[in-house]
Chain A
């Protein structure tokens, strides 16, 4: 007869695997929209679920588990965006970021320049734009995930879009080409 601790650990592992299956598309989609690069998105997704696995005993059920997983993913994402900015500051640019920017300069349409433009926003504004426009979350959900008021989420979104407009103007994009 297996020991109680063995039974518990098999049950926990199964429960964790179910969590991964139910949430991986949403989290992977978030990172693909954030970094564009498939390998980086995959890495961030794995790191998120590893953190979920390690932190599950501490989950206090103050929010839904989906919101909690989103929060872990957002923290990973924000750290990644800050890591990229620090590396740029130190002159340790990612090769794929430089390649992508030189490719997108060839065609000055809005869609091609969208990701580099969003990447120029402050990290938190990037997150609000991605969660609202691409993940299609409501401002109420965004507020819970980012630990801000609903009004603050709306203000962040509005400022992000105004900043994006300025970024596009500096890139020389005409609004007829969007």
Chain B
């Protein structure tokens, strides 16, 4: 059975011509003797036969249109930054409230709900320690850095939850993407399951 598992791992690479000669010989020798692996090979060949490039049609002027769209978006980003730079000091609190309001309604603010779940607290801790600390609300960032050596894990969790709820920072879905970018696929799927199993 152990040899069958190894051969199964090699069969996709055997079919795509990516095995070393010695491995290729082992696969061919084993296939001649093992009907189970032969059947597996047939199934894998059928699958690999449909995994072939299909033609993607691209309009002849797509490249030119793409360049124009990119330049427009870059200009738009520059204009938005300039607008915030000049508008916020001049219109003050009113603009800030409108922008925050739009941010919250447009970006599915979830921090209040998620703060009750340890998963979002873990995310903010990870973000603080990874390269994405600029995405952490400042008050939460300060709390994590100040308290880690002085409080127990439970105390930190409790305090962070209170801070996150108090800040009520809009947490667009993208922040969670950024925060989880450093996780491997397995850890990412585990975190999603933790969130899924959380009930309010």
Contact = CB atoms under 8 A, between A and B. Distances in A.
A28 B192 contact: no
B13 A158 contact: yes
B192 A162 contact: no
Contacts of A66: none
B195 to A, nearest CB: 6
A85 B165 CA distance: 25
B102 interface: no
Contacts, number: 120
Contact of A178 (B10, B50, B110, B189): B50
A169 B10 CA distance: 20
B56 to A, nearest CB: 5
A29 B110 contact: no
Given A46-B69, A49-B66, A89 B177 contact: no
A46 B69 CA distance: 7
B180 A82 contact: yes
Determine the main DSSP class of B at the interface with A. Answer: helix
B35 to A, nearest CB: 16
Nearest to B174: A83
Contact of A161 (B44, B108, B185, B195): B44
Interface string B53-91: 110101000110011011001100000000000000000
A155 B6 CA distance: 11
A154 B177 contact: no
Given A89-B192, A123-B185, A157 B12 contact: yes
Interface in B1-23: 8-13, 16, 18
Contacts of B47: 110, 161, 164-165, 168, 175, 178
Contacts of B12: 157-158, 161-162
A28 B62 contact: yes
A49 B46 contact: no
B173 interface: yes
Given A83-B177, A86-B177, A133-B51, A178 B46 contact: yes
Nearest to B39: A175
A158 B10 contact: yes
* Max chain A Cβ within 10 angstroms of own Cβ: one of B108, B177, B192: B177
A79 B177 contact: yes
A72 interface: no
Interface stretch (A17-25, A56-64, A96-104): A17-25
A111 B50 contact: yes
Interface string A130-146: 00111110010000000
Question: Which A-B residue pairs are the 3 nearest by beta carbons?
Answer: A122-B185, A133-B51, A161-B12
